[in-house]
Structure 1
Amino acid sequence: MCQIRHLKYLAPFSLLANIMLMTTFIICLYYIFEGEISYIDKRVIGNPARFPAFLSTIIFAIEGIGVVMPVENTMKKPEHFLGCPSVLVVAMTFIMTLYSILGLFGYFKYGDVLRASITLNLPLDHWPAICAKCFISLSILFTYPLHFYVVIDMFTRYTTPHIQEKYQNITQILARIAIVCFCGGIGIALPMLEQIINIVGALFYSILGLIIPGIVETIFRWENLGRFNWIMWKNMFIILFGICSLLSGCAVTISDIIIKLKERTS
């Protein structure tokens, strides 16, 4: 699927993946509310030392910075992407609502034994739970090419002028295969879902989604930063927040990875 080179052909797969995710969401809610939910023994506030890891997970979950621009550029009416209401606002509100419901009631149900993916807490011998896990796997399979599109688009843009025309097609095919194998190799070598999510959120999405946009907007609007330079102050706050998320999230996650590796080797 990563050999598909046009974003519009990936849209049906993305739609199918969203349907599967919604079905999985419903199945998870079914198991959450199937039995009694206890609120008494649940902590209102977790360990403050784990807050950077939590923040990294949140950044990973809500950041779609890699596909924002390609999606907007390929829309029939890109002016509908931003604004209020807009495609971005409606989509993110819906996504955050689903995350909040599943995260809150999932914790009420499973407590501290809640795993990195709530589907891992579902029973292993119930067919709805098995379907939910299959749907999650298939949705990742169908949406991976959408995120992959940005990477290969940048690769093609910078390498095409330096490659002879007759070799451009085979080069792109081999590059796509190599990148997919590289990502798969990382997943096999480091089967730590929670830590991988945290390190990606802290390292990459803090930079791409918080720090760089703040810097770019400040430079772009330097001649008109608004009353009392509020745009500059706003962006300074976002940049500092991104730097704090980057440093603290990476430190905590790397420490977790080291501990996990030591546990496996001991």
Structure 2
Amino acid sequence: MDIRLWILLVTIPLVPLGIIRTMKALVPLSITALVLIMFGLSITLYYTFTDIPPLSQRELITHPKDWPLFFATVLFAMEGIGTVLPIENSMEHPQHFLGCPGVLNTAMSVVVVLYGFVGFFGYARFGPDTKASITLNLGSETSLGELVKILVALSILFTYGLQFTVPTEIVWKKVGPMVSEAKQEVGYYVLRATMILGTVIIAVIVPDLGPFISLVGAVCFSILGLFCPAIIELMTYYEEGYGPMKYLLVKDTIVIFLAAAALISGTYTSIQEIVEFYMK
């Protein structure tokens, strides 16, 4: 069956799961997704640590022209940052979210370790043949390899509502006032379902996400994840001052420079990759 038909079939469970708006209802789904993704990760690591060739056979540092793709992909990994504020606002004790260790620091430490761990050993195992998603390297000839793909797909499905909360709330603030008071709730769910269908249409048009991951990371997350927060912090502390030796000014200036470099170089390199991919 064509992959586009599978994408359309996924719309059936995606819409009802994606329109859930209350955090309490999303928690069980998120826990289930976490269990599935950890189980899938365990199987992936099993395959990854099987028949690892010597590191001497791997190119430890790639050509500098490919570095922008790496940085853009790393920025894409920040996609979960959009759920930070909704989670903090829905916590019974939001003061536990920040600080040391804090929910945010603990969660992000685990994420960084897992990303680095899987990235290093995934490349050590599969080398330059590593695909956009490491699960695709497991092949379709084994039942466990297919099981991992199913587990990852289900985990994404179950967390779709959580990831969709922030963009929906942003759009609803603009659209909500245009809807009558009596139809506010219906209008919200219609908007959310419409936006979900929009993502499905994009997936049907561009079913192969690999070449676009770096582009999304370079454009969206370099601006929203690095550039904008640095500018906002500079504006916030403008009157109070930037601390001893103006460390906030120095830090944010470096972040802005890195964001600009990632945006320009990452976008250029990613577009080159996309053109080469579709010219094959």
Q: TM-score, normalised by structure 1?
A: 0.94
Does the alignment pair 1:203 with 2:240? no
8 Å Cα contact 1:199-1:253 kept in structure 2: yes
Partner of 2:86: 70
How far apart, in 1, do the equivalents of 2:254 and 2:79 lie? 18
Residue type of the partner of 2:259? G
* Unaligned 5+ runs, structure 2: 1-16
Q: Work out whether 1:231 is the aligned partner of 2:248.
A: yes
Residue deviations 1:10-34 (CA, integer Å, cap 9, x gap) = 1111111111111111101111122
Deviations, residues 138-197 of structure 1 (Å, cap 9, x unaligned): 011111111101111112222222211233233222222221111111112112322222
User: Secondary structure at the residue paired with 2:41?
Assistant: helix
Aligned residue number for residue 145 of structure 1: 161
Deviation of 1:133 after TM superposition, in Å, equals 0.5
Q: What is the one-letter code of the residue matched to 2:116?
A: S
Residue of 24, 29, 33 corresponding to 2:49: 33
**What SS does structure 1 have at the residue aligned with 2:57?**
coil
Question: Counterpart of 1:40 in structure 2: which amino acid?
Answer: S
Q: Distance in 2 between matches of 1:49 and 1:149?
A: 37
Aligned partners of 1:36 and 1:171: how far apart in 2?
A: 54
Q: Distance in 2 between matches of 1:33 and 1:169?
A: 50
Instruction: List per-residue Cα deviations over 1:81-110 (Å, max 9, x = no partner).
Output: 112211111111111111111111111111
Give the SS at the match of 2:98: coil
The aligned residue for residue 48 of structure 1 is 64
The amino acid of 1:64's aligned partner reads G
Q: Distance in 2 between matches of 1:3 and 1:217?
A: 33
Deviation at 1:41, TM superposition (A): 1.2
Do the aligned residues in 2 keep the contact of 1:59 with 1:201 (CA within 8 Å)?
Answer: yes
Q: How big is the alpha-carbon RMSD for the aligned residues of Structure 1 and Structure 2?
A: 1.4
Q: CA deviation at 1:129?
A: 1.2
The answer for the alignment partner of 2:142 in structure 1 is: 126
Query: After superposition, what is the alpha-carbon deviation per residue over 1:14-59, rounded to whole angstroms, capped at 9, x for unaligned?
Result: 1111111111111011111222433221011012111111111111
8 Å Cα contact 1:38/1:109 also seen in 2 = no
| Residue identity in the other structure for 1:209 | G
Corresponding position of 1:19? 35
Instruction: Kindly tell me the number of residue pairs found equivalent between the two proteins.
Output: 263
Give the aligned partner of residue 274 of structure 2: 257
Matches within 5 A, 1:140-179: 140-179=156-195
Contact 1:82 1:89 in 2 (8 A): yes
The equivalent residue for 1:82 is 98
**Which residue of the other structure, out of 242, 249, 259, is the alignment partner of 2:259?**
242
Q: Which runs of 4+ in 1 moved over 4 A?
A: none
Structure 1 unaligned blocks of 5 or more: none
State the percentage of identical aligned residues: 35
1:5 aligns with 2:25: no
Given that 1:211 and 1:238 are in contact with CA atoms closer than 8 Å, whether structure 2 keeps it comes out as yes
1:101 aligns with 2:123: no
